[in-house]
Each structure stands twice: as C-alpha cells, then as structure tokens.
Chains A and B, each alone.
Chain A
C-alpha cells in the first residue's frame, strides 16, 4: 500500500504539487492522468525519493519513505522493491542490452554469476517479445519501440513488488503502443505487482488501469475505478478523456 498525504513540492515559484492525497492498494494498478507539465513525473519521482517533497508524507506499507538520514543499505533495500520504466527508456548506452536488463542482478549483495544473469536477461527479453539476438546489441542500435521493451525487461528483471511506468506509450505508433499496454497489463497481473503509471494516452488508461486518478492544479481532481471514469460528472475528467479544447482546463498553458 502506497499512501501520499498532503504532498507539496515547488520548484522556485512554480508550485507543482499543492497537497496531493492518494492511496494505491497493493496488487492494484493505478493510472495517473493529467496534462503535460501538471507534475505527474514529480509525483512518481517523489515516491522513489528522486525528488524530495517540501512537505507531506509518503508511506509504503506504513513506513515513511521520505525520512531523511536513511543509510545506504536501507535505501538499497527500499529501492530493490521497485522497478521503473522511464519515458525515454533511460537505457545505459555504454552497456549491451542484456547488461542493461541484468544491471541489478549482477550487482549488490545478492549478485548472481554473469552467465546466469545473462540467461535470465534473455528470458526477460523474450517475455517482452524480443529475440535472444537482441541481447548483444547496444541500445543505440534499437528502434524506439524496442528500447521501450528493453526498459520494460529491465524494470521487471529483479521481480519487483512495485513497478512504475512513466508514459509507457509516448512516442510509439498506435500498434506498438497497444502491444506495450497489453504487455504491461499481462506482466502486472502475472507478477501480482502494484503498478503506478502516468500517462496522457487514454488507450493506455483503459488497457492498464484498475483505478484512475486525475492530477490537475497540483491536487488529485478525481479518483476512482476505471469503470466509473466515463460516468463521472467531473468536467475536468470529462474534458480530458474526450480531448476537448473547450472546458475548465485552459488549453493554452
């Protein structure tokens, strides 16, 4: 269970988060929607500790994740529970594909031998629909869709309990977006993982989400099960999911 309580974060005069409250139950898939620049990424990174909130509390299973003074080992143990797919893939371009996927597996206290890690990486690559030949290529040799898949394989390689997806379909063609959406749904279900996705792609929302939350104006405007999303009278949600230019959300931002 991930809980955010009254989380604030400002960058200079730009108050991005102004009191976010959100609960994500274990084993469910939460999708956060909202326009560009509304702070969705900041929210995600706050949970991981990549961004430190100005105030408010973020807890994971009741433990405060924003607490300062965490020792290195504690932090490693905390982060080991997470996997994250970055928007641009964020693959390490000095390392081969399999080394990217196996990055966490060959390091740290529970490091496994290289050949075993390589086999596991190839297994994960196959899971996301990539051939074993891809393993020895460098990220720069792959197409955008393939890089996303490698990023996905890396995110799930260590079988994390919680997986974050940062705009998983941005920059992909509709068919590839559909493939990635289905993969995310399958993987989350088969691993029983808790998922938190940020996107503005409504096809992703419908494919991935159990629950949806809309972030606007620094707060969660609306949250509920994906099935209730279409029926909600909230004008912000209605404008967003139908992509209308007219409505309470300013189209010029």
Chain B
C-alpha cells in the first residue's frame, strides 16, 4: 500500500528527471557541435529561409493585432485615472519587453517546432537518419545544428520586426480610433522607450528561438515508429517548446528587471 503510493509519486518524478537529463545532454551535445566542423552552409541557408523568412507573415500579423488591442485596452484602463496619454509608451514597452518576444516565440513554436519535429521524425521512421550515418554524416551536425543556429539567429530579427509592427498597430488604432495626434503618438513612443526595453526582448527572442528548434529536433530525433509516433513527437515538440518559452520568459524577466 505504502510502496504503491510512493511508487506512484516516485515513478513520474524519476521519469521527469530522466527526461530533463536527456534533454540537457542533447542540448550540450548540440552546442558542442556548433563550433566544430564540418559546417553545412546549404542546410543552414535553407533553415534560415524556412524558420526566419517564412515566419515573418505570421509574426507580423500577430504583432499588428496585439499592438492594436493593447492600445484599446490601455486607453480604456488609463481612462479610469485620466492617464490616456500613456498609451504610446505602454504599448511600446509592452510590445518590446514582453509581447513581441513571447507571442512571436509562441507563434514560431507552433509553426517551426512542429514542422521540424515532423520532418526529422519522418526521416527517423523511414531510416533516413540511419542512412545519413552510413554515409559518414552526423545527423546532429547535418540536421540539428543548422536548424538550431538558424532559429537562434533569426528569432531576434523576427522579434524586432514584430516590435515595430506591433507599435505600428497601436499607432494605427491610436490615431484612427482614439483621437491621438500622429506626431505626438510617435514622439511619446520614442521618448519613453529605452534601448534595454528592446534589447532584453531581442535577447529573449534568441533564447526562445533556441528552445523552439531544440525541442523540434529533440522530439523528432526521438520519434517512435509509425505515423502515430511522428504525430506524438510533433505534439510533444509544440507543447514542450511553448511551456519552456513561457517558463524561460519568466526566468529571464526576473533576471533582467529585478535587482
């Protein structure tokens, strides 16, 4: 009875620790391979295009609607204590510090972690990973490193673009729906936005990009057999990337903005 209860607690705890350990080892191995040749530039270029460039529309759309909604909310909330004028600066700070990186990261997690996991998982299931090994090519270097590096480098650019588009969304709503003067809105945005507001968001973006690609690759490489295995790997990649992004966001915010 007691042993059963303890087992029911201990088993999942051990499994969770083992999973964290495996993931940590995987991350360490990947980082170790980043700096050592051979480098696969063509795969890196393709990954940059797939992960960075083709994510622009989804990140841009997310940002513009978020910026617009944020402006409406802050206006309504600010009106309660006659502080409607803070809309431009709060929209800018909110987008740059928090919503740009987090929502951008989550959208990229949905788009990229899933496709990486499905692609690599299918390669695993159809023995293409084994085939790479027999052709003297390390799958970690050929498949994982290009994707992880591309995601880590392109996410900050996506976040910066998202910040700008989100602020533009707020500005559009501000001047069309909330009777702000365009020049005043922009001046307030620029005056109250500090470099570290944007910089911290870009740094978060890089961390989230790393998480997204790492989760996609990890779950793809460890996919079980068959269509079901690939489906489960894809699901796990998106869920774990999303949760890790939110957790990492809290930790990074704690690190950056409390002292």
Contact = CB atoms under 8 A, between A and B. Distances in A.
A84 B135 CA distance: 9
Contact of B130 (A50, A76, A103, A107): A50
Interface residues of A, number: 24
Interface string B96-128: 000000000000000000000000000100111
B42 to A, nearest CB: 10
Interface in B188-215: none
A45 B131 CA distance: 11
Contacts, number: 48
Contacts of A84: 131, 134
B38 interface: yes
B126 A50 contact: no
Given A87-B127, A88-B126, A104 B133 contact: no
A86 B130 contact: yes
A229 to B, nearest CB: 29
Contacts of A154: 135
A90 interface: yes
Interface in A114-164: 154
Nearest to A51: B130
A83 B134 CA distance: 7
A17 interface: no
A48 interface: yes
Contacts of B38: 107-108
Contacts of A45: 130
Interface residues on B, range: 10 to 19
> In terms of DSSP, what is the predominant structure of the interface of chain A?
loop
Nearest to A155: B134
B136 A86 contact: no
Nearest to B36: A72
B176 interface: no
A82 interface: yes
A112 interface: no
A80 interface: yes
B138 interface: yes
A222 interface: no
A71 B16 CA distance: 32
6 contacts: A50-B134, A79-B134, A79-B135, A90-B128, A90-B131, A107-B137
Given A92-B128, A103-B135, A107-B135, 6 more contacts: A72-B138, A76-B136, A90-B127, A92-B131, A103-B137, A104-B136
